[in-house]
Amino acid sequence: MTSAGVRGGRPGGPGPSVVLAVDSGGSGLRVALAAHGVTSDAGSPVRQGAAPPPPPAPLGDPLTSKEPVRTGPRGISAGHLLDQLLPMAQRLMAEAGVERLGAVAVGAAGLATLGDELRDELPAALERELGVRRLALAADAVTAYTGALGPRAGAVIAAGTGMIAIGTDLTSWRRADGWGHLLGDCGGGAWIGRAGLEAALRAFDGRPGGSAALLARAEEMFGPMPGLPGRLYPRTDRPAVLASFAPEVASRAGSDPVAADILRAAARHMAESAAAVCPVDGEPHLALTGGLFKMGAPLLDPLREELAERLPHARQVPAAGDPLDGALRIAADLANGLLRLPLDERMLYVAAEKPYPEIDGRNSSQDRQVRDN
């Protein structure tokens, strides 16, 4: 396969009518098959105000793995991903009676900064093992965006343990934050949980800004406060441990002004990131996706206020689907030769067989620059 920006149909007619999608993140893998078909507007940018067409429906339930893909000296391990993916893909294909795939889309956390090995090794490996001749490698923020908004200009806030905002005007991608719990992810679950534990420690010390309610709950969950650093710092899953305290902050926001202030600050950080990536022209769409928003009103109410203040021209809409839906949509559009999202080596990289027009350089960061904020 050759890196490509696919435009137009496959010479000699359409290819296989089944695609494979992968969502690889901190909680493991999800893999799904879906049938796809070409419609008159498939892959086209959605007209102003219209909802995107639904993604292709999975053929049966997705398969899952609880083991996150490891990272190595060259970033995300292609070998470890393949060790998990290939048996799952082969099982799905056998159950569906499928011998060939029209395309594969892999959404991977960390692709933008840790994706060199995946880009170098996955195209040849998947062609050899599964006969894949069209492959898209996408940052998980891109699949989250595509699942939420489809081929529409706008911005998406994706928040769970971490937080990233991603936007596009359909010519290039913009991202803000997503720098991890030590350097950023401001407003995400780990950030909220850490702020809540800081408020608990302030109350324990007798410093201003403390919360007696959060102190009591922290001691119930983690034991006496003097032992918290020793229990937390050696753990390799620190972000998840911190994020586990975020719902406790939300549940006390109605009666505890310190907890409410933490969620207001989280909402402000998210809105700032969204404003940094949202297109400034027209009426872009804005969606929220990720498990953090299950907190409900204590977080969503201040977030909607902050977004209305910073992005009055953006239209807030419900997310149409999740990252696996986004990967399915990308795979189907790629199989049909109708992928319209902007290509970039770090954010959305496509490898496809020749011959295709416009095949050289479409993944180049020089041609499709991501502007980090």
What's the pLDDT tens digit per position in 211-241?
Answer: 999 999 999 999 999 999 999 999 878 888 9
Q: What is the CB neighbour count within 10 angstroms for residue 305?
A: 14
| Spatial distance between the Cα atoms of 184 and 202, rounded to a whole number of angstroms | 22
CA distance 199 to 215: 7
Beta strands in the chain (DSSP E): 2-3, 18-25, 28-35, 63-65, 71-72, 75-76, 103-108, 134-139, 154-159, 163-168, 173-177, 285-289, 315-316, 348-352, 371-372
Residue 128 has pLDDT above 80, yes or no: yes
pLDDT band at 345 (very low <50, low <70, confident <90, very high): confident
Q: Are 259 and 249 in contact (CB under 8 A)?
A: yes
Q: Three-state SS for 169? A: coil
pLDDT at 15: 47
Per-residue buried b or exposed e for 112-139, using 16+ beta carbons within 10 Å of the residue's own CB: bebbebbbebbbebbbeebebbbbbbbb
- Whether a cis peptide bond, with omega within 30° of 0, leads into 355 is yes
DSSP secondary structure, 29-52, as one string: EEEEEEE----TTTTSPPPTTPPP
Contacting residues for 42 by C-beta, under 8 A, at least 6 apart: 53, 332, 333, 336, 338
Whole-number pLDDT of residue 350? 94
